[in-house]
């Protein structure tokens, strides 16, 4: 048996050697660098490398076998891609292992390779085993070394490197690299990477594993290994050791085996604890979990709770995380809440993730009013299991465009219809014979309506109207469009709201609304989707005040063919977002044109697509990397709002916004300012509410002057007074002119910024307060008062979007001639494929509409979005189906062309607006030029001298 042992050794790396090996790592120095440990524990047995097996088989690396491409991995100043071994493109020996492998190419230095941040997945004192299947390819003779290395970063001190192991591999053959490492303390950032071969040599990686070589069972006195099977990180979770490790947050805690004369006993175990003598809603029971919770890992929290005392029978109980960073910055993370009662135990569940490296972390329960005790039977905090990926829903015979409402044309009188309540249904004539416009856009050519309508009389409640059961006609995960003509009778003294609604197992679902202030026929358009199997679904029409007659004609509910709509939008996009381009070449003999090949590649689409970010997000390198690569605009979630920048009068916090703005400027990302004021009273901080009229005017003036002077020229947009259609705090206290005056003063302070109105439910037909008609009137009134309104913000927090309904709103607002932006787009579905479809609907509708100038997503990372089931990237960095769809659309909206120069020395193509690179290959040379395609109706001529 041939055996070669490689011993462990350490060496002080000289400054000269360091510079040769790591020549261009910005911000890193050799001063006071720690010793670099070259650690290996390898054996080569009969030509194969082996090492000791790990007793914990859980791999802490994400996407270790490259099954998701290079997701979670980063190339270090070079390029990389994943190929299928079955393709045979890298040689016969390399294909024997099958599956995918990564190729790291365009390496200019030996230290360039593939890396992954593992900070949140390792623990101090644990020993980790590294095993990698690696290879090399390219211009080399014999073998090349491949090394495994850790990069260790601490804020305020030099970066150091810990070398794990190395192996020598022969060109186009796989070799195995193994080694171990252990850290006594975990620094702020730990990056694992593979490097080593000389410049120009490609590094190949088939798979990588980092496993804990010690026991994986969690020990209460040690942090141990992190794995999907981690135990509870809470100490004494069921109070078996009394109140050890627990404390009161501003109150006392007491241990019980029963209370309230034996009426309350533990749900499980022998004991529970109560937080008592609470004088504030934030008082509760807490435990410090510093050192036991890791950054960039998702944790699931489960608590069993109830309340007692103070004559409160039910109240929300919240689980909250208090986090303190090394610079003493404090953060409160809401995990979850549940409505608890004094009648029995309930379960609270939620998730959280830490982006940064905290110095302290405390989890606690809070919420009920002062004097109410919080009882807790148990608390579990575990590394969250990854939910299984969604499967695309299988919908057999969707019958697109077929109305599921029976007897809609009333040819059989009111058969299958019934009155909801004690109202009376009858049939009248004289309603429109054509479909409402939004339905017509979806259905195309269609039979005329009958002209008959349901007349509803004797209405004694606003919910009374015609109804029909449609349970058996609905299919899960299918999006339905709602359409109807509605009208109200005489006698109404104010505008009447009419609503097509669905009762889904006694839960109200909005199918569309219209506000009617005359006796004309009005269109209702909306949509809905059912994602859980119901036992009963009823559609009904309701809304006008008691005593007001209601008329309903041509009610349609039909499934939407989204793919047909997408085909239409692609054609529309080609007209709106592209331009003909003529490349004219000079400097070549005309005889050379037929043999001159060129390739045109678009590198940047000028259309703005951005995302919401929060201060905590920028501590997560994976988040920042995705954000910087895939978005070109940003909006801050909370950090520019008044309650954030001045939570107490005269105490300002601009640090968060400053740091976020610095990040955006570093990555050439434009920013929207959201928002200067927020008109909804519930969002206004208490100290502002307590001001008298004169002091409030002064505070408003100071807010405008302070914010816009500080950031003059740095924010391209401002939402001046958010959600004015849904709130009126400032207008009620300072008069109608205050809104226009906010715009006027903002424009004086920063003339470079475009000033927006911004509101929600404008585009979905489900809120009469913010219908396109109401929004248009609102904007015109502001302009009449002299407000320099420069843009229209549609928030676009939307459910089950339907293209013609969204497009109708855009058309109506487009008549104002102002740029329209989606400012806060998010969609939500438990199924990733349906979520992806919803997102595609909204992105395509916006991109294809001439009045839309930009789109902002309201976040993309799980646990950092305002709605559940709306993320594109899972909590620990894995791209889901919605994220893949987004990236596919981004790729689709980059134009490419290739061919030969024609006899006139020209090349014609049609491309999206943005930046392009053209590569021209002649018989004697290769030339590359950059050019920009701007908006324009006539063909763009670009002259290129060869």
Torsion over CA: 746, 750, 752, 758 (sign): negative
Q: Does residue 833 contact residue 797 with C-beta atoms inside 8 Å?
A: no
Q: Does residue 827 contact residue 763 with C-beta atoms inside 8 Å?
A: no
Nearest to 282 by CA among 354, 374, 381, 348: 374
Angular region, 606: left φ>0, alpha ψ -120 to 50, beta rest: alpha
Residue appearing with tokens 């999206």 = 912
Cα-Cα end-to-end distance for the chain: 65
Pairwise CA distance, residues 285 & 247, whole Å: 6
Pairwise CA distance, residues 229 & 942, whole Å: 61
DSSP 873: B
Q: Hey, what are 607's tokens? A: 């259309």
Q: Hey, what are 460's tokens? A: 């004694």
Q: Which residues contact 186 (CB under 8 A, 6 or more apart)?
A: 119, 122, 123, 124
Nearest to 539 by CA among 467, 456, 474, 480: 467
Active-site residues: which are they?
Answer: 723, 824
DSSP 475: -
Residue appearing with tokens 């001046």 = 720
Alpha helices per DSSP H over 646-736: 655-666, 686-689, 693-710, 729-734
Q: Hey, what are 821's tokens? A: 């932006």
Pairwise CA distance, residues 179 & 41, whole Å: 6
Which element (helix H / strand E) includes 737?
A: helix 737-749
Which element (helix H / strand E) includes 273?
A: strand 272-276
Nearest to 370 by CA among 271, 499, 277, 485: 277
Pairwise CA distance, residues 180 & 184, whole Å: 14
Nearest to 456 by CA among 557, 555, 556: 555
- Whether the bond between 699 and the residue before it is cis, its omega within 30 degrees of 0, is no
Alpha helices per DSSP H over 402-515: 437-443
Q: Does residue 487 contact residue 519 with C-beta atoms inside 8 Å?
A: yes
Three-class DSSP category at 259:
strand
Q: Which residues contact 698 (CB under 8 A, 6 or more apart)?
A: none
Count CB atoms within 10 A of the CB of residue 429.
11
Pairwise CA distance, residues 698 & 691, whole Å: 10
3-state secondary structure 502-566: EEECCEEEEEEEEEECCCCCEEEEEEECCCCCCCCEEEEEECCCCCCCEEEEEEEEEECCHHHHH
Q: What are phi and psi of 535, to 5 degrees?
A: -95, -25
Residue appearing with tokens 């409030």 = 696
Rg (CA), the chain: 32
Pairwise CA distance, residues 64 & 60, whole Å: 9
Alpha helices per DSSP H over 751-865: 772-784, 803-814, 832-848
- From residue 475, alpha-carbon distances to 135, 330, 471, 540 in Å are 51, 48, 9, 19
């Amino acid at each position: 048996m041939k055996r070669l042992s490689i011993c462990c050794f350490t060496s002080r790396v000289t400054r000269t050697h360091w510079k040769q090996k790591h020549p261009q790592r910005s911000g890193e120095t050799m001063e006071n660098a720690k010793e670099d440990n070259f650690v290996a524990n390898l054996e080569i047995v009969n030509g194969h490398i082996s090492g000791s097996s790990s007793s914990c088989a859980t791999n802490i690396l994400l996407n270790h076998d490259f099954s998701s491409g290079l997701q979670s991995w980063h190339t270090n100043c070079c390029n990389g891609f994943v190929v299928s071994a079955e393709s045979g493109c890298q040689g016969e020996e390399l294909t024997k292992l099958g599956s995918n492998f990564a190729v790291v190419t365009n390496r200019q230095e030996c230290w360039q390779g593939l890396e992954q941040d593992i900070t949140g997945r390792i623990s101090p004192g644990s020993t980790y085993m590294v095993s990698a299947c690696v290879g090399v390819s390219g211009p080399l003779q014999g073998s090349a070394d491949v090394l495994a290395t850790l990069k260790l970063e601490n804020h305020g001190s030099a970066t150091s490197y810990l070398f794990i192991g190395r192996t020598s591999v022969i060109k186009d053959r796989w070799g195995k690299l193994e080694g171990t490492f252990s850290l006594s303390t975990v620094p702020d950032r730990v990056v694992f990477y593979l490097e080593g071969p000389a410049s120009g040599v490609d590094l190949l990686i088939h798979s990588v594993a980092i496993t804990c070589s010690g026991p994986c069972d969690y020990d209460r006195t040690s942090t141990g290994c992190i794995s999907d099977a981690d135990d509870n990180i809470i100490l004494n979770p069921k109070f078996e050791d009394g109140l050890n490790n627990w404390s009161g947050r501003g109150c006392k805690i007491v241990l019980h085996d029963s209370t309230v004369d034996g009426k309350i006993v533990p749900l499980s175990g022998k004991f529970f604890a109560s937080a008592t003598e609470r004088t504030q809603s934030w008082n509760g029971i807490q435990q410090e979990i510093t050192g036991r919770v890791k950054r960039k890992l998702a944790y699931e929290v489960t608590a069993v709770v109830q309340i007692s005392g103070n004559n409160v029978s039910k109240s929300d109980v919240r689980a909250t995380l208090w986090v303190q960073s090394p610079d003493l910055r404090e953060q409160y993370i809401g995990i979850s809440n549940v409505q608890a009662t004094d009648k029995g135990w309930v379960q609270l569940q939620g998730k959280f993730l830490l982006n940064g490296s905290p110095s302290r972390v405390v989890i606690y329960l809070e919420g009920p009013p002062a004097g109410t005790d919080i009882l807790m039977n148990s608390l579990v905090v575990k590394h969250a299991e990854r939910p299984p990926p969604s499967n695309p829903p299988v919908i057999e015979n969707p019958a697109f465009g077929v109305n599921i409402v029976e007897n809609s044309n009333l040819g059989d009188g009111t058969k299958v219809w019934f009155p909801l309540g004690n109202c009376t249904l009858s049939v009248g004539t004289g309603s429109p014979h054509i479909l409402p416009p939004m339905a017509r856009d979806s259905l195309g050519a269609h039979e005329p309506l009958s002209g008959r309508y349901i007349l509803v009389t004797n209405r004694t409640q606003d919910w009374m109207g015609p109804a029909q059961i449609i349970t058996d006609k609905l299919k899960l995960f299918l999006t339905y469009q709602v359409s109807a003509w509605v009208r109200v009778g005489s006698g109404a003294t104010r505008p009447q709201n009419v609503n097509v609604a669905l009762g889904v197992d006694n839960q109200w679902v909005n199918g569309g609304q219209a506000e009617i202030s005359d006796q004309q026929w009005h269109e209702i358009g909306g949509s809905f989707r059912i994602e859980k199997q119901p036992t009963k679904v009823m559609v009904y029409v309701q809304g006008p005040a008691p005593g007001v007659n209601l008329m309903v004609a041509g009610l349609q509910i039909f499934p939407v063919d989204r793919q047909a709509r997408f085909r239409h939008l692609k054609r529309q996009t080609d007209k709106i977002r592209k331009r003909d381009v003529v490349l004219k070449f000079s400097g070549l003999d005309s005889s050379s044109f037929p043999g001159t090949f060129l390739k045109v590649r678009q590198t940047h689409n000028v259309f703005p697509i951005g995302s919401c970010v929060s201060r905590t997000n920028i501590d997560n390198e994976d988040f920042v990397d995705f954000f910087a690569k895939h978005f070109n605009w940003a909006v801050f979630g909370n950090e520019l709002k008044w309650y954030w920048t001045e939570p107490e009068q005269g105490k300002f916090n601009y640090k968060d916004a400053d740091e976020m703005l610095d990040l955006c400027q570093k990555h050439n990302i434009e920013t929207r300012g959201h928002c200067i004021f927020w008109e909804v009273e519930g969002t206004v901080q208490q100290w502002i509410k307590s001001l008298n009229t004169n002091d409030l005017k002064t505070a408003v003036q100071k807010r405008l002057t302070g914010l816009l002077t500080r950031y003059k020229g740095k924010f391209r947009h401002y939402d001046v007074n958010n959600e004015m259609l849904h709130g009126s705090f400032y207008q009620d206290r300072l008069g109608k002119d205050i809104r226009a005056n906010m715009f006027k003063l903002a424009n004086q302070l920063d003339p470079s910024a475009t000033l927006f109105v911004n509101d929600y439910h404008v585009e979905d037909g489900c809120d009469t307060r913010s219908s396109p008609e109401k929004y248009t009137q609102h904007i015109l009134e502001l302009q009449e008062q002299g407000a320099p309104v420069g843009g229209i913000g549609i928030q676009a927090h939307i459910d089950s979007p339907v293209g013609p309904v969204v497009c109708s709103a855009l058309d109506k607002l487009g008549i104002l001639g102002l740029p329209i932006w989606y400012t806060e787009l998010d969609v939500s579905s438990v199924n990733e494929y349906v979520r992806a479809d919803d997102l595609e609907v909204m992105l395509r509708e916006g991109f294809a509409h001439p009045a839309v100038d930009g789109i902002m997503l309201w976040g993309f990372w799980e646990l950092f979005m305002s709605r559940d089931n709306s993320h594109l990237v899972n909590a620990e960095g894995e791209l889901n189906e919605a994220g893949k769809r987004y990236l596919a659309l981004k790729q689709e909206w980059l134009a490419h062309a290739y061919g030969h120069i024609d006899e006139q020395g020209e090349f014609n193509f049609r491309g999206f607006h943005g930046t392009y690179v053209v590569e021209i290959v002649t018989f004697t040379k290769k030339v590359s030029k950059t050019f920009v395609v701007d908006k324009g109706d006539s063909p763009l001529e670009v002259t290129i001298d060869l």
